[in-house]
Amino acid sequence: MAPSSQVKVIEFYKIAPPPGSVAPASLPLTFFDLFWLPFPPPQLLYFYELPHPLAHFTNTLLPRIKHSLSLTLLHFYPFAGNLSWPEESPNPMIHYKGGDSVSLTIARSEGGFHRLSGNQARESKELHPLVPQLPVSGSVVPMLALQVTVFPNSGICVGVTMPHAVADAKTILNFVNSWASICKFGEASLSTQSLPFFDKTVIKDPRGIEKRYLSELTNYFRSKFRDRRLGVLDFGLPDDIVRATFELSRANIARLKERVLALQKKDKQLPPSRFSTFTVLCAYIWVCLVKAGDERVSFSFNVDCRTRLKPPVPATYFGNCVGTRVVTAERADFMRQDGIVVAAKLIEDSINGLNDGSLDGAEFWISRLLSSGVKGKVWAAGSPRLGIYEADFGWGRPKKVELASIDKTGAIFISESCNGDGGAEITLTLRGPEMDAFASVFVNGLEGKGYAMYRSGL
């Protein structure tokens, strides 16, 4: 692996919005945010090929990175603030005041850029030195930490860490993509349609879910810390895990959908239906894991609720607005030839249950999480429609984007293909033998056509 000693910090900055540009402000957390309060923070790593020496980065790129970050924080000012839950406050709050800033670490690595940004299986902890460090417990928690690691003459890695309670994937990516656009084209490139929407009152809570969550979280944090400081769950995942990325081309996905449709037509009891790419990918991953010997028979995933709520929430709403769904099947169902249809139907029906904005079962999300964590569940994060590869800072699209935090949650990271060809990428962490078993089932199920084959890098 690439030991942490190969990553050396060379500069540390505090980046704030332009002086006097933002008035002090506070934002409460909604019940959507509160659900994610005990989760480990998301940790995104953007790898870019950049065959230039360190001096080129320091003299040419670093000033642009710092200046554009300051301008971006003018519009996304809460990220420069802090998250706190004082004893006298009934609700955790995001606070920003003049002088608040974001930590930006600049580091140098002698590790193998192409290995770290590859798809092959390698120890998950190889990525840890590239992740910006952010406190996860205490009375006050920073909102954002950034790290840019330079691999001289090879590339750079932009790392992003933030508490999950303050932002979902759409909000995080809106920030990163806005920062990249300003860095490449200047502030004028930021369209009004991409500006964050901060009004938390658009999230309605007629069923009192927020009050219930606050009570359960208060009891949890006090039992864990003896007071109501912030903290995160320990999901108890092993350290000896490897990570690998599996690529599916547009043709692979089309064949999976055709297979599902054909299997449905064989069953005359129900009319065949076409499932979304996300549903088919999740169903295929779940079935492959079970066939590879995984004992988890429940599947958990997130669904963006912005357009599903009544009234709908703006696309650039700042915060969390995702519904968590859990579906469960019998192991024997997945061993059948039509196992992927069973899985797809369960997932699609659960998604459709959110279409009326009812958020059925939302009042139990926190209690289930605090009682069982992710035990017994396959947890999916991301989507092939998020646009995670759109962040171009001026040196091209990312070669690879990793969600490093799946080491802590055990989630499966789903994104669009880095090639922009309509394909998808699936990244997961398992123990070595489990990864080999999964890879065998996964590749054989695709019949190896057009598939970037799994290669062990251990």
Least confident of 48-62, 91-105, 267-281: 267-281
Q: How far apart are CA 237 and CA 121, in angstroms?
A: 18
Q: How far apart are CA 86 and CA 105, in angstroms?
A: 29
Asked if pLDDT for residue 445 goes beyond 60, the answer is yes
pLDDT (0 to 100) of residue 369:
86
Do 4-225 and 242-446 have matching folds? yes
DSSP 138: B
pLDDT (0 to 100) of residue 270:
63
Residue whose C-alpha is closest to residue 452's, from 406, 419, 430: 419
Domain formed by 4-225, architecture: 2-Layer Sandwich (3.30)
> Who contacts 151 (Cβ-Cβ below 8 Å, separation ≥6)?
109, 110, 111, 113, 157
Residue with tokens 């979304």: 276
For residues 322 and 302, the answer to whether their CB atoms sit within 8 Å is: yes
pLDDT (0 to 100) of residue 453:
41
Asked if pLDDT for residue 278 goes beyond 60, the answer is yes
DSSP states along 41-102: PPEEEEEEE----HHHIIIIIHHHHHHHHHHHHHHSGGGGSEEE--TT-SS-EEEE-TT--E
All structural domains of the chain with their residue ranges: 4-225, 242-446
Give the mean pLDDT of 382-386. Answer: 93
Give the mean pLDDT of 302-320. Answer: 93
Q: How far apart are CA 71 and CA 40, in angstroms?
A: 28
Q: Which residues are catalytic?
A: 164, 392
> Who contacts 308 (Cβ-Cβ below 8 Å, separation ≥6)?
323, 354, 355, 356, 357
Residue 312, classed as helix, strand or coil, is coil
Cα angle 244-413-408, degrees, rounded to a multiple of 5? 85
Asked if pLDDT for residue 457 goes beyond 70, the answer is no
For residues 401 and 46, the answer to whether their CB atoms sit within 8 Å is: yes
Give tens-digit pLDDT for 227-276. 767 888 888 788 889 999 999 999 999 999 999 999 988 876 666 778 99
Instruction: Indicate the CATH number for domain 242-446.
Output: 3.30.559.10
